[in-house]
Amino acid sequence: MTQIIHILLVDDDPAENVILRALMKKVTSASIELHYCETIDGALDFIRAGNPVNMVLMDNRLQPQADFRETVPAMRQQGFIGPIGVISSSLADPYFQKFEEYGADFRIDKSELDPTAIEFILREYVSKN
Amino acid sequence: MATLLKNHRRYDIFNDLEKALNRVDFFRIFHTMALRFGFDHFGILQLGNENDACMLSNRLTLHDLPSGLAEEYDKRHRFGDSVVYKSLHASTIPSVWKADDPHLGNGSNLLAQLGFDLLLCVPVNGINGARYAILFLGDSEDIERREHFELCYDAIAAFDYFYRLVLSNKAGMGLTPRETEILRWISHGKTASEIALIVSVSEHTVNSHTATILKKLDVVNRTQMVAKAIREQIIQ
């Protein structure tokens, strides 16, 4: 796979950007370019600017008080129809059962996000497109 | 899914299974299961007629193997010739394989060919009897009896959910409100990407709903889908 895959990470903790960037380097089956926005407004601007984005990984809770039930629909209203994955440190909240209704494609626990999981997600959501 | 009774004991994975909705959730469940028992990877293999030509990559319905590994294997070897594949058609007893098992031979040693030391196979069935096997691959020396039993049990339980939620042919089942909505837009001539914009979901979700509608209505393409939906008054 020679094509570059653009992934946009939206997370208010810059440390997560560093961690995920290191994780993406371990994915050998694809060339990934990770873009990073700290806020949902930043992400919306990024999409609006016409930057190529194959997939969005969105932290569930973003400052000040938004969770994916607000942020994912905002991305959809901006016209983004690529896959959006919601990352959370716990998937226990019952509203995660309704993630599809809010326009999200999948949910994954932070602790489960390893190179194998990234490769699987790319195969499922990006390679086929 | 509230169709099961407490009699169907699911022990520690009850919560994960009850919350699972899509392929990523089942990937998470099986991947975590493999790691918990000292394996590195899992694969869910569809079994058919033993004599049918078969490739490993085509038979894996869900797996976490490194990208391209199964395809590379298929270029060099014939999966149908492997002792492991043949044994899955000879018995439904779970089996444990080591790369240095003397009886595996050179040309049919699946484990050595894939580059792992230990393989556990758990034969399973869908509720309609369709046969599959869950494979766990890793580099451990062996698996203890207790862990072996637990892993087999968890694999059977997780596969049951995976089959009912993802794999089963849902012909005749009713459409969900979201599926009906997408069907209606298809009948108005909208493309998948247009529907994604209208309904505020990803194009992938629209395609996945469309595939489910095809299965549920037991039709082969979008034209037949709309014709049948009108005939059966699902849409006007």
pLDDT digits (tens, 9 = 90+) for B79-93: 988 899 999 999 999
Q: Say what the ipTM of the complex is.
A: 0.89
Stretch A27-45: mean pLDDT: 95
- Please determine, for residue B3, whether its predicted confidence score (pLDDT) is greater than 80: no
- Please determine, for residue B172, whether its predicted confidence score (pLDDT) is greater than 90: no
Right CATH for A4-125 from 3.40.50.2300, 2.40.50.140, 3.40.30.10, 3.90.180.10: 3.40.50.2300
B72 interfacial to chain A (CB closer than 8 Å): no
Of the two residues B173 and B66, the one the predictor is more confident about is B66
Q: Specify the pTM.
A: 0.91
pLDDT of residue B139: 96
Of B44, B110, B60, the closest CA to residue B83 belongs to: B110
Q: Which chain B residues are Cβ-neighbours of A32 within 8 angstroms?
A: none
pLDDT of residue B132: 97
In total, the C-beta contacts within 8 angstroms joining chain A to chain B are 80
Q: How far apart are CA A24 and CA A122, in angstroms?
A: 11
- Please determine, for residue B11, whether its predicted confidence score (pLDDT) is greater than 70: yes
B188 interfacial to chain A (CB closer than 8 Å): no
Question: What pLDDT digit, counting tens, does each position of B147-158 carry?
Answer: 999 999 999 999
Domain range summary for chain A, segments of one domain joined by +? 4-125
- Please determine, for residue B106, whether its predicted confidence score (pLDDT) is greater than 50: yes
Q: Do the Cβ atoms of A100 and B64 come within 8 Å?
A: no
- Please determine, for residue B182, whether its predicted confidence score (pLDDT) is greater than 70: yes
Stretch B215-234: mean pLDDT: 93
Q: Which chain A residues are Cβ-neighbours of B21 within 8 angstroms?
A: 97, 99-100
- Please determine, for residue B107, whether its predicted confidence score (pLDDT) is greater than 70: no
Burial of B120 (0-12, 13-18, 19+ CB in 10 A): buried
Burial of B90 (0-12, 13-18, 19+ CB in 10 A): exposed
User: Domains of chain B, with CATH numbers?
Assistant: 11-167 (3.30.450.80), 177-231 (1.10.10.10)
Q: Which chain B residues are Cβ-neighbours of A73 within 8 angstroms?
A: 200
Of B20, B48, B15, the closest CA to residue B163 belongs to: B20
A81 interfacial to chain B (CB closer than 8 Å): yes
B2 interfacial to chain A (CB closer than 8 Å): no
Chain mean position to CA B187: 31
pLDDT of residue A129: 47
